[in-house]
Structure 1
Amino acid sequence: MKRIIVLLVLLMTLGQAYSQQVLTLEECRNLAIRNNKELRISGEKIKMADNEKKAALTKYFPQLSAMGAYMWNQKDLNLLDMGALQSAIGSSLGELAHLPIVDKVVGGVNDLQHLDIQNVWVGSVSLVQPVFMGGKIVSYNQIAQYARQLALSMNDLQLQETIYKTDETYWQVISLVNKKKLADAYVQLLRKMDSDVTAMITEGVATEADGLSVKVKLNEAEMAQTKVENGLALSRMLLAQICGLPLEQALILADENIEDFPVTVPDASADVNEAFMNRFELKSLDLAKKIYQKKERIVLSEMLPSVALSANYFVTNPNLHNGFKNEFSGMFNVGVMVKVPLSGWWEGTYKRNSARAETHIKALELENAREKVELQVNQSVYKVNEAGKKLIASSRNMEKADENLRHANYGFEEGVIPALNLMEAQTAWVSARSELIDAQIDVKLTKVYLDKALGKLSSNE
């Protein structure tokens, strides 16, 4: 019986351990990267760009096509009006028109001028080799190359956004876990104090007002505890959704049991040029500008002559080359095709001006984005340094709050400090502890913000 109970306990422990998965920050990043739908979409866009690039390359090679057609006609074709011909022969020959030889000649002429086109078959094979298309094919291939680079850049941008969102949510969960511990401890402390003050009221060494003050503080602390619990539950769900895990799965993070994070006080500085080189938003806008420049070239190519070589083989039935006989006959031909636009210059000029305006818009967007990136980098540096100063100040406040609470507890136990003063010391300690937790998390998050501003976020960090 004891063995069965031990086995059941082990199974329950293993089941609970399996259901509560412990994840590090790196594991959360990898799960988010693997399961992120936006990253999958950008991956498919890269495949699309690869295929479009290959499709554009085929425009350099000859284009081969085949065509076939069949037509059934109700009537045949007569080249001559035989009734008018017979009348003309009769009026010219008179009585001789009824001679057998004349009838045979007329019959022979009728057979020759009668064309059997009831069943018509047509087929052709054509080959066209572009020689000069005004630079259109070259521009299309360059655009396809830029489009592939743009798809890769957007994929990298989405990767950094996914890592950034994962890190931000991860440290928010850690922050709320520590605040929940703080709220639980504070509620437990106030409950003990409520019990002590109730006993003191019974003994006549405390007033009812003291008891009511403690109960009000206890209610406030329990409400704050509930808010923290709800916020933590929602943050865990958000992290599970980012990682592609079921929302109801209990996530336990590796850094939850750390009381004081081993953070160093940062002194940040950043090179804006590094951000200019790394930021994929700038790379994407630069590629977009190049694409619009090539579109200008395509518009110009519509205004230039185009030259192509052609080779064709035609086959028909009836035979077009020998009296429309009911037989198949074919022939080859080769040639040069030249197309010169004559009346499209005005329209082409306006289209080219429109394309130039689009290119100018992209150039201005790129310049504007560079200015915003520079501002974002400087703001991130300031936030990192500000977070470091806040951490130093919070650590000092925590030391003072610890000392103040120690004196308040000693004075309350000795009966020289009222309950109200002790609660004020406890509230100040909780506030200082909460600010210290925020300061430690801010140091982590501002580092993430700075790495994102510099374009340095990666799954290997």
Structure 2
Amino acid sequence: MKKKILFLLFTFMVGNLYSMEITLQEAIRKGVSENVNVKNEKITQENTEIMKKQAIKTALPKVKLTSSYTKFENPMNPMDKNSDNMYGNKISIEQPIFTGGKILIGIDTADLLGKQGNYLLEKKEKDAELEITKSYITILKLEKNREVLKDSLEQLKETYKMINAQYKLNLITKTPLLEIDYTMTNLDSQLLELEKGIKISKANLKRLIGMANSETIELKDISIKENQEKILNIDEGIKIAKENGTDVKLVKIGTEFQEMNTKLKRADLFPTIAFNFGIENSSTDIEGIKDKWNWSGTIMFSYNLFDFGNSQDEYRKSKNELKISKNSEKNSLEQLEIGIRNSYYELEISKKLIKAKEQALASSKEQYELDKGRHIAGLITTTDFLKSENNLRQSEINLINARLDYYLAEKTYENKIK
């Protein structure tokens, strides 16, 4: 017996040693840093920084070195036995002078990509935060519901003992026992379903926060304060979202990209001018190649004189696409506003539901205590008592879920406006 107690104590200590308690804030902090989408966006930002540098470098001169060797079938000079060989070197510098604004447009586009990358990172971080919160709330719901069912089952076991004692004394029929037994069996089944849900939900949460599925976690409860004063009203929320909201910024930046594309198509209508300076030499003798250097300077002018109006068509098409983008922007902003309003109304409904569920629970408790006494006194049937017990249990679960739904509705609303 002593060995058995020591073994159980050791098992308990080992279990606690490898069990990790975590708060919602810790889960969010850990999850956001481990989120795949966030990690990928940070890598994309690195590429954007490289693209910025590349865009700036297009305005700088390019230096090229070209070395060549040519072998001819017949000597070019019969008097020179080496004239069937030709060695050549050329160093050239090319500098764009005018490109119709393409270089500046490229730099501005790269800057715009950087801004978009920052907004996308913010969005993916806040979306990851909300996803983790939803997962965390789901587990808390299941665990709290499990506790309600366990308490209910314990109460029913006590009732079963009392009814069984009466049955053994032949004071009642077996029907009440069967009714309670069925209810307890049903509760056992619900508990198994909840256990399965908790395991699956915890596995999902561990995936979100970058933990191995073999690790054990215990979730700390959250503090739910129904403080409406801290929550921005609908008009303030929409104003903040329009001024600083990440989703709004991403919608607007899409139009800015289209404006850049229109400018780029317009730049195609202009000529390009570049300057090239080079020094080169050539010789049939590899030793002579060191001495005979000549320089040359070239200004290159290029202009598409005639392409059947294709460049103009591309420009006109890009202007139409800009109009489409602006129309889409307006529609998207309206949809975002509707989404914010909907989240706010859901939050208000959730708050009112808590009050309703609190009243329902108070009523169920009072009725249960009354029916419990009546049942013991034999004034009501077991069926009526079980109905009262079920109402109490469901009222407790409904209130738990309503409070957690309110918390989630609050976080969803905050997510919409930031």
Match of residue 119 from structure 2: 153
Matched, 1:195 2:164: no
Matched, 1:368 2:331: yes
Match of residue 266 from structure 1: 228
Match of residue 287 from structure 1: 253
Structure 1 residue 196: Cα displacement: 2.5
- Kept in 1, the 8 Å contact 2:87–2:289? The answer is no
From 292, 295, 307, give the equivalent of 1:344: 307
Residue deviations 1:305-331 (CA, integer Å, cap 9, x gap): 111222111111138xxxxx8885220
SS in 1 for 2:341: helix
* Cα pair distance change 1:11/1:121, threshold 3 Å: farther
From 304, 311, 317, give the equivalent of 1:354: 317
Residue identity matched to 2:225: V
Structure 1 residue 12: Cα displacement: 5.3
Between structure 1 and structure 2, the one with the greater Rg is 1
Structure 1 residue 397: Cα displacement: 0.7
May I ask how many residue pairs the two structures share in their alignment?
A: 411
Residue deviations 1:240-279 (CA, integer Å, cap 9, x gap): 1111001132111121xx8xx5532637522212112233
What TM-score do you get using the length of structure 2 for normalisation? 0.92
From 158, 176, 189, give the equivalent of 1:210: 176
Structure 1 residue 129: Cα displacement: 1.5
Matched, 1:419 2:382: yes
Unaligned runs of 5+ in 1: 79-109, 320-324, 456-461
**1:19-34 alignment runs, 5 A limit:** 19-34=18-33
- Kept in 1, the 8 Å contact 2:66–2:89? The answer is yes
Mapped partners of 1:265, 1:413: distance in 2: 42
From 183, 204, 218, give the equivalent of 1:252: 218
Residue identity matched to 1:439: A
**1:15-414 alignment runs, 5 A limit:** 15-77=14-76, 111=79, 116-255=82-221, 262-264=224-226, 266=228, 269-270=233-234, 271=236, 272-318=238-284, 329-344=292-307, 346-414=309-377
Residue deviations 1:260-300 (CA, integer Å, cap 9, x gap): x5532637522212112233222123222212211222222
Residue identity matched to 1:135: G
Mapped partners of 1:12, 1:407: distance in 2: 44
Structure 1 residue 431: Cα displacement: 0.9
* Cα pair distance change 1:7/1:55, threshold 3 Å: farther
Structure 1 residue 72: Cα displacement: 1.5
Residue identity matched to 1:163: E
Residue identity matched to 1:375: I
SS in 2 for 1:27: helix
Mapped partners of 2:153, 2:117: distance in 1: 53
Mapped partners of 2:179, 2:5: distance in 1: 49
- Kept in 2, the 8 Å contact 1:380–1:446? The answer is yes
Residue deviations 1:402-428 (CA, integer Å, cap 9, x gap): 111111111122222221121111001
Mapped partners of 1:6, 1:185: distance in 2: 26
* Cα pair distance change 1:206/1:361, threshold 3 Å: farther
- Kept in 2, the 8 Å contact 1:240–1:247? The answer is yes
- Kept in 2, the 8 Å contact 1:299–1:351? The answer is yes
Residue deviations 1:55-85 (CA, integer Å, cap 9, x gap): 101112111111111111221236xxxxxxx
Match of residue 322 from structure 1: none
Mapped partners of 1:8, 1:61: distance in 2: 75
Residue deviations 1:372-397 (CA, integer Å, cap 9, x gap): 11111111111111011100010011
Mapped partners of 2:8, 2:373: distance in 1: 45
Mapped partners of 1:223, 1:131: distance in 2: 79
What is the RMSD computed on CA atoms of the aligned residues? Answer: 2.4
What TM-score do you get using the length of structure 1 for normalisation? 0.83
Unaligned runs of 5+ in 2: none
Residue identity matched to 2:394: S
Structure 1 residue 191: Cα displacement: 2.8
Percent sequence identity over aligned pairs: 15
SS in 2 for 1:21: strand
Residue deviations 1:28-56 (CA, integer Å, cap 9, x gap): 01110121111110000111101100110
> Which of 261-270 and 394-403 deviates more?
261-270
- Kept in 1, the 8 Å contact 2:109–2:257? The answer is yes
Runs of 4+ off more than 4 Å: 4-14, 325-328
SS in 2 for 1:415: coil
Structure 1 residue 346: Cα displacement: 0.9
